[in-house]
Amino acid sequence: MALKGNLTKARLAESMLQLIQTSGYSGTGLNAVIEHAAAPKGSIYFHFPDGKEGLGIAAVELAAKQFETLIAEAATSAGSAAEAARVAIEALATIVSESNFRLGCPVSVVTLEMGAESERLRQACAAAFEAWIVPTSALLEASGVEAKEARSLATVVVSTIEGAVIVSRAMQSTQPLLSAADVVAELINQRCKTAGGTR
């Protein structure tokens, strides 16, 4: 029973995540989530007693984990920090393109819509961005960049990717993301070389 309940809870969070990307947080109603997840009525308040806000937080946390996984896989497959950044950004470009530019970053969507309205959602979004900055920073440190600079550079990288996703969706073109991949990779290479790290 517990397993079934956990599966329902996960399915609700996944549905909320997908609907936020296509309809926005404000445009996503709980009935739509229930229908999308094919979940029993009443299951949202059973699993998320605080309703839509709690479900939104779960969706943001899920998005954070998915992108963390993307970063980890890129770091494992790439030969350098610059190449890892390029692999991750190109993977995002593929996701955005294959969705016909309907999918973007749900964390930025929730931040822009609800950051000033819900402190809990704002904190969840901040934690999500932090979950991407920290491993990126660690990857840069492993390439020889000093900790403070690595943190700063990682923040710039994540911010650049977020902006590029939005511009790509607006233009219905992956070019902004691919251009971001070029610039980010070159910037990382330069910083690693300056720090005496390996390319």
Top-level class of domain 60-194: mainly alpha
Q: Which residue has the tokens 């996944």?
A: 14
Placement of tokens 């896989």 in the chain: 73
Q: What pLDDT does residue 16 have?
A: 97
Q: Which of 90, 80, 70, 95 is nearest to 181 (CA)?
A: 90
Domain coordinates of the chain in residue numbers? 60-194
Question: What sign results for the dihedral spanned by CA atoms 54, 118, 70, 79?
Answer: negative
Separation of first and last alpha carbons in the chain: 51
Q: CA 11 to CA 58: how far, in whole Å?
A: 11
Q: What's 80's DSSP letter?
A: S
pLDDT at position 5: 63
Taking the chain (199 residues) in consecutive chunks of 10 residues, what is each chunk's mean pLDDT? 73 96 94 95 92 96 94 91 95 95 92 95 97 95 95 97 96 98 96 71
Whether 119 and 176 have beta carbons less than 8 Å apart is answered as no
d(CA 82, CA 192): 9
CA–CA separation, 29 and 124 (whole Å): 20
Write phi, then psi, for 192 (nearest 5 degrees): -65, -40
Region of 145 on the Ramachandran plot (φ > 0 left; ψ -120 to 50 alpha; else beta): beta
